[in-house]
Amino acid sequence: MNFTLNAILQSGDYVGFTFFIGSMAMLAATVFFFLEMGNVQGKWRTSMLISGLITFIAAVHYFYMRDFWAETGTSPTEFRYIDWILTVPLMCVEFYLILKAFGAKMDLLWKMIAYSLWMLIFGYLGETVYRDSSAIWGAISTLGYVGIFYEVWFGSAKKLSQGSNDPHLQKAFNTLAWFILVGWAIYPIGYMAIPTDGLLSGILPLESLDIIYNIGDAINKIGFGLVIYSLAISSGKKAEA
Ligand SMILES: *C/C=C(C)/C=C/C=C(C)/C=C/C1=C(C)CCCC1(C)C
């Protein structure tokens, strides 16, 4: 029998390791969020569904990126950004859903989605088409990030949370706000490690871009979902039937 093993994970291949761990972690988180949908009050089901969809979409991309990496030793930027352009707006939906009961309107959701698309489209251009001027595109992209950050730390989202008088909601909202400030800041650091042209590319090793993005995704996608889950649980389990 003639059989070729294409996907080889070499020892010392840290990018490959983080793609493997990332794909399993996203898959496990997805199973968890979907199964726990049955254990939370009805009003939290949609939020749990979205948490599961975020890790599910990431899992599919990670399985693909993992195999692609193992076969070719590269990982096209496109898969990253396709994943993010689907999952980051869903994270904005999570903010909207938890604030909806306290008066969040659709325009808050659209505003946050617009900021995130701005951030991702210009980041993509800087990482691919206009790599020579990645610093400028990164700076333009950061304006979208600042928009989301402002909304959550000072803007209308923050005000709705403050006005809710619900300590569970406020605690979860503040934790998510820290994810935006600290967890999301991992990505621009990764971006600055773009091989050869990034601001930090002489300082960080060549493969750090993918490793940093993989760590960021695991922290942010799974962490976000767990915050929503603990909010759903703390604000009351499904009444025993
Ligand atoms: C699940 C994926 C998430 C939460 C992705 C978040 C991505 C960012 C916050 C990316 C931000 C960027 C900048 C602020 C400037 C440089 C370009 C980006 C796109 C890496």
pLDDT of residue 238: 47
What mean pLDDT do residues 31-40 have?
96
Q: Which atom of ligand 1 is nearest to the CA of 141?
A: 15
Mutate to test the pocket of ligand 1, among 61, 119, 150, 210 (most ligand atoms within 8 A of CB): 119
Going from the Cα of 235 to the center of ligand 1, the distance in angstroms, rounded, reads 31
For residue 9, pLDDT over 80 is answered with: no
For residue 239, pLDDT over 50 is answered with: no
Q: Which atom of ligand 1 is nearest to the CA of 185?
A: 9
User: What six digits make up the tokens of 119?
Assistant: 């951030």
Q: How far apart are the first and last CA of the chain?
A: 57
Going from the Cα of 84 to the center of ligand 1, the distance in angstroms, rounded, reads 8
Query: Does this model's pTM top 0.85?
Result: yes
pLDDT of residue 201: 80
Categorize the per-residue pLDDT at 86 as very low, low, confident or very high, splitting at 50, 70 and 90: very high
Measuring from atom 6 of ligand 1, which residue has the nearest CA?
Answer: 184
For residue 84, pLDDT over 50 is answered with: yes
Token pair 């399985």 in the structure block, residue: 63
Dihedral of CA 220/82/68/127: which sign? negative
What mean pLDDT do residues 124-149 have?
96
Categorize the per-residue pLDDT at 6 as very low, low, confident or very high, splitting at 50, 70 and 90: low
Other beta carbons less than 10 A from residue 12's beta carbon? 7
Could you give the CA distance from residue 132 to residue 126 in angstroms, rounded to a whole number? 8
User: What six digits make up the tokens of 65?
Assistant: 């990126």
The CATH number for 14-240, chosen from 3.30.700.30, 1.10.1040.10, 3.40.50.720, 1.20.1070.10, is 1.20.1070.10
Dihedral of CA 151/154/155/157: which sign? positive
Mutate to test the pocket of ligand 1, among 51, 82, 142, 184 (most ligand atoms within 8 A of CB): 184
What mean pLDDT do residues 143-162 have?
97
For residue 68, pLDDT over 70 is answered with: yes
Pocket lining for ligand 1, CB < 6 angstroms? 84, 87-88, 119-120, 123, 138, 141-142, 145, 184, 187-188, 191, 217, 220-221
Q: Which atom of ligand 1 is nearest to the CA of 144?
A: 14
Going from the Cα of 53 to the center of ligand 1, the distance in angstroms, rounded, reads 19
Could you give the CA distance from residue 118 to residue 37 in angstroms, rounded to a whole number? 32
How far is the CA of 56 from the CAs of 16, 40, 53, in angstroms?
20, 20, 5
Q: What percent of the chain has pLDDT over 70?
A: 95
Q: Which atom of ligand 1 is nearest to the CA of 183?
A: 4
Categorize the per-residue pLDDT at 1 as very low, low, confident or very high, splitting at 50, 70 and 90: low
User: What six digits make up the tokens of 166?
Assistant: 């619900």
pLDDT of residue 206: 77
pLDDT of residue 197: 77
Categorize the per-residue pLDDT at 237 as very low, low, confident or very high, splitting at 50, 70 and 90: low
For residue 241, pLDDT over 80 is answered with: no
Categorize the per-residue pLDDT at 3 as very low, low, confident or very high, splitting at 50, 70 and 90: low
Q: Quote the DSSP letter at residue 12.
A: T
- Give the chain's mean pLDDT: 93
